[in-house]
Amino acid sequence: MTTTEKQPALIGQRIAKVDGLERVTGQAAYGADIHLSGMLHGKLLHSPHAHAVIKGIDTAAALKLPGVMAIITAADFPELTQEAAISGSSEYSIGAANLRRLWMAHEKALFSGHPVAAVAATDPYIAEQALALIKVDYDVLPWVKDIDDAIQPSATLIHEDLFTHTLGELPKKASNVAQHVEIGNGDIEAAFRDSDVVIENEYRTQRVHQGYIEPQASTAQVDPSGHVTVWTTIQGVHWARFDLASILNIPLGKLRVVPMEIGGAFGGKVYPTLEALCILLSKKSGRPVKMVLSREEVLRMTGPTSGSIVKIKTGCKKDGTLTAFDAKIWMDSGAFPGSPVAGATLAGFSVYQFKAFHIDGYDVLTNKVRVQAYRGPGAPQACFAMEQQIDLMAAKIGMNPLAMRIKNISKEGDPMTHGRPHVKIGFTEVLERVKAHPAWTSPINGPWRGRGMACGMWMGGTGNSSAHLTVNGDGSVSVVVGSVDLTGTRTSLAQIAADEFRIPLEKVLVTVGDTDQTGYTDTSGGSRITYSMGTAVHRACVEAVEKLKGVVAAQLKVPVADITYQNGIFKASNGQSLTFEQAARTSMRRGDGPVTAVGAVRRLKHAPTFGAHVADVEVDPETGKVTLLNYTIFQDVGRAVNPTQVEGQMQGGAAQGIGWALFEDYVYDEKGNIRNASLLDYRMPTALDLPMIGAEIIEVPAGDGPFGVRGCGEVPIVPPIATIANAIANATGVRIKETPFTPERVFWALRKAGKA
């Protein structure tokens, strides 16, 4: 794989983001920064009801408003082709038919905020005015509020045609449960009988939003010839093209999806939201159409992650050996299928080894906005439950909770919940680092203070990646990738290329290409880009070096096999040599043509990451307020290509996990409307809420991919809820089993326990 025997020079360096200046100076063009000639502005009409039949939509008055150029409703969607219906969508579970109904309510509005119509007008204010003139005739239905409601046998059905998807079973009646996953191993009854301690509890989490800074924004232009161009802020242009093409019945070659810069996503911009509506409005109006969501709309109609209920029973022996667990997980997926319950059963429960286990997972629908992915989807909810149980059992047998974890941790070759073995992982190294670190060993004094820890894992994404590169005549290299840059991957990919060529970083230009210009590439998500796209870029570099050897051989008039490349120098055995820059210059006139190369990656082995978090909290018994005193993350990242960026990922993920644990929540009124759809009322953590978060990087190289990197962006969000819950329990003696741990909830829990 590696062309030279060298020490990586740029890998591991703290490089400032190569596109940092454009971003901080406002030059980078985000979704809303596009202006096309004759462009119209689109606005959405939302359902004010959580559940209602749409009996009719009257757009006549709105269409008469001067400046209104087109109005669309579900009726403007083409019939779904059978192929699209079968091939589904880019998303693992929602499917094309549901995605279409999510973009715009068809027969029923399924959540408050569900788009029912869209207007394109010459300016956004006219479009807004027009919305008020559209008359929708609703037949309001009872709404399904939460998991408890949804799974009642008498529950109102959200979809009349939804049958639970279960392996090997064919349900007889429709329900609100979209999927039932059941996995297990070993004789669970015997294992519990054999336990010295058995503890059973129920844990609940709320739904939380990814909280990206940039609202969704898309622009579409449909040419008279049928060519469609979409400029959008989305995590993956190729997935978007696939979804839009199949649902709107456009040939792939006639649909170009151009990625704009993206202001945060965290899983919340995996699938298209506005793109199809912009396309239909552009088609109807004959003009380009831009739509930009407001913050209120982001919170009302784009997916948060699932709220959950986990009922779990765990057992252990007196010596700390884990014996068995039996878990039931319900995840609230909102109005369409797609909660991360399957992910939860794997990543959430494969951290420790039990003799036997059993998990039932349920994907449950409610009349709320449909969930989306959010960093390590499903794992934080499962981690919360499991890590409370570990602490509870450790306390019961009087064992140090870290020692109990170390004793039971999964190692290479141990089975995961789905039965396949763990690959090479750095779990042990992480916990050994914790054991010796002051964050864990330093004393914690004072009343109402406590320290907690928790562990989590994430499988790491792999998937398809395509890159191509050109060696320019001045020795610079242009790299074009099919993946959107969410997290600074232009920088890490530039480091990988510059390192492989051994040329200065500023000689490498990484461009994010559009769907016409790049090979198929899966979406940027699941911590896969540095790992998978990094491998694709690396492969293209290796191919380019081979081609440059041909150029150098032609120039030096020696056989190609005689040329070696090391530390930026092409050498012939007779001692003649050319630098990379000289070879690049020479490539303009010698050899088989300009040097270009491609790199493609199908599916690498998973390179899982493991993290342990330690937090110190202080609880105010008079108000219930939890203050974070210290927070430290320990994480195996395989190899930190850019430690500054890796730390940023770790700290950012933890900050979001802390918001989930302590502050954020969706507050609904009795009719299913969100009452806090603004950043003033939806309480995300700010810098004032957080201590400086310590980030300890552990490097246990992964077996596949260049340099042993592991994706590092997901796992930091997994342990925070569990870590803080354990810390609160240690500070107060009271264990709180439902998030968020707001002052109100903590206060009443203390009061109930007689402590406040």
Binding site for its own copies (CB under 8 A): 21-22, 25, 27, 33, 35-37, 223-225, 227, 242, 245, 251-254, 464-466, 468, 470, 472-474, 476-478, 480, 506-509, 511, 513, 515-521, 536, 588-598, 600-602
Q: Least CB distance from residue 289 to its own copies, whole Å?
A: 15
Token pair for residue 480?
Answer: 């074009």
Nearer to its own copies, 37 or 82 (CB): 37
Nearer to its own copies, 95 or 591 (CB): 591
**Do the beta carbons of residue 736 and residue 749 sit within 8 Å?**
yes
Nearer to its own copies, 595 or 615 (CB): 595
Nearer to its own copies, 157 or 588 (CB): 588
CA–CA distances in Å: residue 627 to residues 1, 684, 691? 49, 15, 9
Nearer to its own copies, 316 or 467 (CB): 467
HEC profile for 336-392? CCCCCHHHHHHHCCCCECCCEEEEEEEEEECCCCCCCCCCCCCHHHHHHHHHHHHHH
Q: From CA 113, how far away is CA 322, in angstroms rounded?
A: 46
Helix (H, G, I), strand (E, B) or coil at 116: strand
Q: From CA 563, how far away is CA 18, in angstroms rounded?
A: 32
Q: Report which secondary-structure segment, H or E, holds 192.
A: helix 188-193
Nearer to its own copies, 158 or 222 (CB): 222
CA–CA distances in Å: residue 141 to residues 53, 74, 453, 471? 7, 20, 45, 62
Q: Least CB distance from residue 423 to its own copies, whole Å?
A: 20
Nearer to its own copies, 7 or 25 (CB): 25
Nearer to its own copies, 262 or 494 (CB): 494
CA–CA distances in Å: residue 657 to residues 211, 637, 646? 12, 19, 17
Q: Least CB distance from residue 32 to its own copies, whole Å?
A: 11
Q: From CA 83, how far away is CA 88, in angstroms rounded?
A: 8
Q: From CA 111, how far away is CA 138, in angstroms rounded?
A: 13
Give residue for tokens 């898309």. 218
Q: Least CB distance from residue 55 to its own copies, whole Å?
A: 38
Helix (H, G, I), strand (E, B) or coil at 451: strand
Q: From CA 265, how far away is CA 736, in angstroms rounded?
A: 30
Nearer to its own copies, 487 or 587 (CB): 587
Token pair for residue 332?
Answer: 């609230």
Q: From CA 466, how far away is CA 493, in angstroms rounded?
A: 12
Token pair for residue 371?
Answer: 């969930």
Q: Least CB distance from residue 613 to its own copies, whole Å?
A: 35
Q: Least CB distance from residue 280 to its own copies, whole Å?
A: 18
Q: From CA 608, how far away is CA 245, in angstroms rounded?
A: 33
Q: From CA 727, how far away is CA 719, in angstroms rounded?
A: 12
Nearer to its own copies, 521 or 656 (CB): 521
Q: Least CB distance from residue 11 to its own copies, whole Å?
A: 20
Q: From CA 510, how far away is CA 477, in angstroms rounded?
A: 8
Nearer to its own copies, 590 or 605 (CB): 590
Nearer to its own copies, 202 or 506 (CB): 506
Bridge partners of 365, per DSSP, are 334
Nearer to its own copies, 251 or 446 (CB): 251
Q: Least CB distance from residue 573 to its own copies, whole Å?
A: 25
Q: Least CB distance from residue 728 to its own copies, whole Å?
A: 46
CA angle, residues 394, 353, 604, in degrees to nearest 5: 135
Token pair for residue 116?
Answer: 């029912």
Give residue for tokens 């741990």. 741
Q: Least CB distance from residue 84 to its own copies, whole Å?
A: 11
Q: Least CB distance from residue 464 to its own copies, whole Å?
A: 5
Token pair for residue 360?
Answer: 């039932």
Q: Least CB distance from residue 278 to its own copies, whole Å?
A: 17
Q: Least CB distance from residue 595 to its own copies, whole Å?
A: 7
Nearer to its own copies, 118 or 508 (CB): 508
Give residue for tokens 């290409």. 513
Nearer to its own copies, 472 or 564 (CB): 472
Nearest Cα residue to 303 out of 277, 336, 329: 336
Q: Report which secondary-structure segment, H or E, holds 83.
A: helix 82-87
DSSP structure class, residue 714: S
Q: Least CB distance from residue 155 to its own copies, whole Å?
A: 38
The number of helices, as runs of H, and strands, as runs of E, in the chain is 21, 27
Q: From CA 655, how far away is CA 652, in angstroms rounded?
A: 5
Q: Least CB distance from residue 643 to its own copies, whole Å?
A: 23
Strands 177-185 and 108-109: unpaired
Omega before 377 within 30 of 0, i.e. cis: no
Q: From CA 477, how far away is CA 492, in angstroms rounded?
A: 15
Q: Is 487 left (phi over 0), alpha (psi -120 to 50) or beta?
A: alpha
Q: Least CB distance from residue 557 to its own copies, whole Å?
A: 16
Nearer to its own copies, 73 or 465 (CB): 465
- How many other CB atoms are found less than 10 A from the CB of residue 182? 15
